[in-house]
Amino acid sequence: DSRKYTGIVEDCCCDYETVDSLNGAVLHPLLQEVVKTPFFRYFKVKLWCDCPFWPDDGMCKLRDCSVCECPENEFPESFKKAMHYGLPSDDLKCQEGKPEAAVDRTLDSKVFRGWIEVDNPWTHDDETDNSEMTYVNLQLNPERYTGYTGPSARRIWDAIYSENCPKCQFLFIKSCTLFPLLIVLFVDFMVASTLPIFPFLDTSGEICQEKRVLYKLISGLHSSISIHIASDYLLDETKNLWGRNLELMYDRVLRYPDRVRNLYFTFLFVLRAVTKATNYLEQAEYDTGNMEEDLKAQSLVRQLLYNPKLQAACPLPFDEAKLWQGQSGPELKQEIQKHFRNISALMDCVGCEKCRLWGKLQVLGLGTALKILFSVDGKIHSNQPLQLQRNEVIALVNLLNRLSESVKLVNEIGPSIDKSMGEF
Ligand code: FAD
């Protein structure tokens, strides 16, 4: 067997072989269909480049990165209707006064109570501010090579990792010239004044498990983005020839085993969030006004959630109960939540519209996974029922699909590239 990755995916509950066979046979084909349905292909997003961390670096309007926004009449009517803010008032009454209320358990089993608009504590965007949002057809704007590179892109990744890794933040500051340094210090003071410079070191100098999880999620997402850039690359600009750039895929991801492992980890983490929200996603209304397509979306989601192969082979892709066990659990969670919100805010600094679109979608998807797995408020054991926005579910499922595509590509192409790596 020429497999390079064997055994259990670190910090998860399933092994690499199982993930590959499940993904290839079940998850990937289903997800590819789900994301084509009208419900899952329209994503609401604020595409303005409104970076809260540093002044406009002139990269925000790169032409080649432009996104094709939907005209008003294209996106579903039902998406435009006002949504609930919090729980619908009928539910708040909780059947009080009804004679059968004492024994009626129907409310408990009805998990989905209509799409809501409540801000996600893990993310930065104000999702309720519809005036600034536009709808994008994700099928028309695939994540692929855009030419966005150089110091602007580098600065975002550096800043993202500095939210996780104390050493990186130190290096980031060291590598700045005086003017940006002052800005960084000012921003650190104004925006993140509560963040210590070395936020993730505990007293013993160890990086705790929860912080490692956040790092691995970001690194796994980064791997996935790089895999997509390499798998849909502009090979020849004059001929407008697109295809796979295997050398790039190797250089950016495959030659680093930890980046591949983090990709698998992130995939299982998000898969766990989706399966944990089974009751909610099963009952959710995938309503776009196109009954046939909406029933298809619902049926595909159910096939995913109740897949016997998934339940048999990998019933618990990630065990979230193992986290936040220590005494400082609640504070730690709030600290990590704040860091993730900063990462989410950094997406407004991405100087390429299409990269910003997919960056925002995938960070919202991760934020939604974190919200599902670790409750909606700052408490460890929250009794609050799960409430999701339509856009969060769209982001979550599209993120899972992106990760599933990357895992499939790594599994299929990885071994042959490894063999021929001498040629590169
Ligand atoms: P980068 O990918 O920029 O990596 C920077 C550094 O991070 C590396 O040198 C390495 O030290 C470290 N690193 C790299 N990968 C990992 C990993 N998996 N785990 C841990 N550390 C890692 N470009 C496109 O063409 N299309 C897109 O859709 C696109 N989307 C983007 C979305 C976001 C949010 C951002 C920030 C950038 C995006 N880019 C996109 C740009 C792209 O990610 C790269 O930054 C760019 O191609 C330059 O690549 P690079 O080789 O300099 O390394």
Read off the pLDDT of residues 347-395 as tens digits, 9 standing for 90 and up: 999 988 889 999 999 999 999 999 999 864 444 455 667 889 999 999 9
Answer for the pair 53, 191: CB distance below 8 angstroms, yes or no.
Answer: yes
Angle between helices 209-231 and 353-373 (to 10 degrees): 150
Q: Tell me how far the alpha carbon of residue 157 lies from the centroid of ligand 1, in angstroms.
A: 6
Binding site membership of 157 for ligand 1 (Cβ less than 6 Å): yes
Amino acid 311: pLDDT: 92
* pLDDT category of residue 59 using cuts at 50, 70 and 90: low
* pLDDT category of residue 67 using cuts at 50, 70 and 90: confident
- In whole angstroms, give the CA distance from residue 91 to residue 385: 12
pLDDT at 298 over 80: yes
Please tell me the pTM assigned to this model: 0.83
Binding site membership of 245 for ligand 1 (Cβ less than 6 Å): no
Closest protein CA for atom 18 of ligand 1: 223
- In whole angstroms, give the CA distance from residue 361 to residue 327: 33
Query: Which ligand 1 atom is nearest residue 258's CA?
Result: 19
Closest protein CA for atom 20 of ligand 1: 219
Torsion of CA 326, 327, 328, 331, to 10 degrees: 110
Q: Tell me how far the alpha carbon of residue 221 lies from the centroid of ligand 1, in angstroms.
A: 10
Q: Which residue has the tokens 């309503």?
A: 287
- Calculate the alpha carbon distances from 58 to 51, 346, 357 in Å: 12, 16, 18
Phi, psi at 134, each rounded to 5° = -125, 165
Answer for the pair 265, 12: CB distance below 8 angstroms, yes or no.
Answer: yes
Q: Tell me how far the alpha carbon of residue 223 lies from the centroid of ligand 1, in angstroms.
A: 8
Q: Tell me how far the alpha carbon of residue 154 lies from the centroid of ligand 1, in angstroms.
A: 7
Closest protein CA for atom 47 of ligand 1: 149
Amino acid 201: pLDDT: 44
pLDDT at 396 over 90: yes
Burial 212-242 (b: 16+ CB within 10 A, else e): bbbbbbbbbbbbbbbbbbbbebbeeeeeeee
pLDDT digits (tens, 9 = 90+) for 157-185: 999 998 655 443 433 333 323 334 344 44
Can you tell me the ipTM of this complex? Answer: 0.99
* pLDDT category of residue 422 using cuts at 50, 70 and 90: low
pLDDT digits (tens, 9 = 90+) for 84-141: 444 333 333 323 333 332 333 233 345 666 777 777 888 887 666 666 778 888 988 8
Query: Which ligand 1 atom is nearest residue 157's CA?
Result: 36
Amino acid 183: pLDDT: 42
